[in-house]
Structure 1
Amino acid sequence: NEKDIYGRIVTIEYNPNRNAYICLIHYGDGEKRYILHPRGFIIADSIVSGKEVPIKMGNALPLTDMPLGTAIHNIEITLGMGRQLPKAVGAVAKLIAKEGKSATIKLPSGEVRLISKNCSATVGQVGNVRVNQKSLGRAKSKGWLGKRLVVRGVVMNPVDHSYVGGERRAPIGRKKPASLWGYPALGRRSIKRNKYSDNLIVRRQSK
């Protein structure tokens, strides 16, 4: 975004596409931008992006200028490609080492990976951390949010799910859980192997 220009938080808004809030920033040169709401930020707080800026929550700067142990989010994984992860509500990563041209970060999943020290990140944690602790009270409230009721596979008709068949109550008939179409579920790796970035992963994510 805007480099070395201070901005002020004008609004904190709900975003229907994510659980985290977003902030509208007015910069000193007249530009207006949205960013993820860092935890603890309120209206009228100021932020700045660039090199050698203060290590303050909400500020964005290269990893080479951050001390070890800094809590960060919205990290640029590849230089010049923009901020990529972590962006989920309450997510926070940690800068654990710097050596040569690379920095080592620990992601919320437990994965440890190398990225360029020149990549930038935002100091602090993504806000709205208590969103998952909210009790909706009833099923209809979930329906208003687009969360439809989930029917267990074992109580469906045989034409509707791979679990069913047989008389009355019965186990799923498989060694491992499966999806609606019979593919392995609950624990199957979703990350593609043999990617160009595999050699940058120091430790895989913990289960």
Structure 2
Amino acid sequence: MAIHLYKTSTTSTRNGTVDSQVKSNPKNKLIYGQHHCGKGRNARGIITARHRGGGHKRLYRKIDFRRNEKDIYGRIVTIEYDPNRNAYICLIHYGDGEKRYILHPRGTIIGDTIVSGTEVPIKMGNALPLSHHIHPESRMLCKEACTVWEGVFIDQKEESTSTDMPLGTAIHNIEITLGKGGQLVRAAGAVAKLIAKEGKWATLKLPSGEVRLISKNCSATIGQVGNVKAKHKSLGRAGSKRWLGKRPVVRGVVMNPVDHPHGGGEGKAPIGRKKPITPWGYPALGRRSRKRNKYSDNLIVRRRSK
């Protein structure tokens, strides 16, 4: 969706931007209320996640990350705003009467049809396993689905002779554990690329730059997540940030020594250390924080860049 600028009348409208009118009219059976108590606190009231608090009330939309309506075609009825994520969602009406929300794939519009299963065409919004075999009717759609990511190209010879999902396919909403539903690549504008398949593993390049192995039996959705311009949106004022439940971020150098290792000093003093550290004393700004010897280390081919 397009980003619009306000006509300048105040400082907030001068600096703020807004999405085009994407309204939200959720279905009653697909929403439920959430009681956000604590706002970043644990059961004892101690802050465990900083910079959270307040915010407007929200209704949670049940999103179908599993896409387990197999081999039943559905039609996109609406494209809606979701306050719980920066990606848009779309309401799907399936042929058997089922209604579900899914993440909005980039390029799909109201009236398009989608389907999930093991033998379905490779088309925007369709969900299928990474080991999917191409349906005869889908060969003309392969190039369209796989060139969403700029720079990805499928050789014409490979496209016409391959019996497997083409390498270079742009995908999102990727499962890590079979049957658990998509857990990777779900943010607005996110897209991963299928770069290799060998044995029972598929090699994916994630948006962070990490290259890792995923079971070929896990499913993914073809295409890129919509609302790709979400990162260019400017709220324009502090109040809009508070509506989202985000509190101010204060620099450690302006705190007291009791609150942060960078704090203290007379006037505008430096941090007093060779390198910056976190409030808990760990190295900051570039130091890798992933736990060592984690069980999934064997599945990571190349770690993401700093």
Moved runs in structure 1, 4+ residues, more than 4 A? none
Amino acid at match of 2:261: S
Aligned residue number for residue 45 of structure 1: 112
Distance 1:197 1:160 in 2: 35
Amino acid at match of 1:161: H
CA contact (8 A) 2:255 2:264 kept: no
- Correspondence list, 1:27-42, <5 A: 27-42=94-109
Distance 2:102 2:275 in 1: 42
Q: Aligned-pair distance for 1:123?
A: 0.5
- Correspondence list, 1:146-185, <5 A: 146-185=245-284
Comparing 147-156 and 103-112, the one that deviates more: 147-156
Question: Does 2:167 match 1:68?
Answer: yes
String of CA shifts for 1:161-193, please: whole Å, max 9, x gaps: 221122212211223322233333332334323
Distance 1:82 1:138 in 2: 37
Aligned residue number for residue 119 of structure 1: 218
Q: Give SS of 1:132's match.
A: helix
Distance 1:191 1:83 in 2: 22
Aligned residue number for residue 231 of structure 2: 132
Distance 1:94 1:2 in 2: 24
Instruction: For structure 1, list consecutive stretches of 5 or more residues without a partner in the other structure.
Output: none
Q: Give SS of 1:197's match.
A: helix
Aligned residue number for residue 19 of structure 1: 86
Aligned residue number for residue 8 of structure 2: none
CA contact (8 A) 2:254 2:264 kept: no
Q: Aligned-pair distance for 1:81?
A: 2.5
Distance 1:193 1:125 in 2: 32
Q: Aligned-pair distance for 1:40?
A: 1.8
Q: Give SS of 1:121's match.
A: strand
Amino acid at match of 1:73: H
Q: Aligned-pair distance for 1:160?
A: 2.5
Q: Give SS of 2:131's match.
A: helix
TM norm structure 1:
0.92
Amino acid at match of 2:86: N
Distance 2:213 2:237 in 1: 44
String of CA shifts for 1:55-85, please: whole Å, max 9, x gaps: 1111011112221100001111222232110
Distance 2:85 2:287 in 1: 25
Distance 2:76 2:279 in 1: 45
Amino acid at match of 1:62: P
Distance 1:141 1:77 in 2: 35
CA contact (8 A) 2:173 2:185 kept: yes
Question: Does 2:72 match 1:5?
Answer: yes
Distance 2:258 2:107 in 1: 50
Aligned residue number for residue 285 of structure 2: 186
Judging by fraction of residues, say which structure has more helix.
2
Distance 2:115 2:289 in 1: 36
Q: Aligned-pair distance for 1:148?
A: 2.6
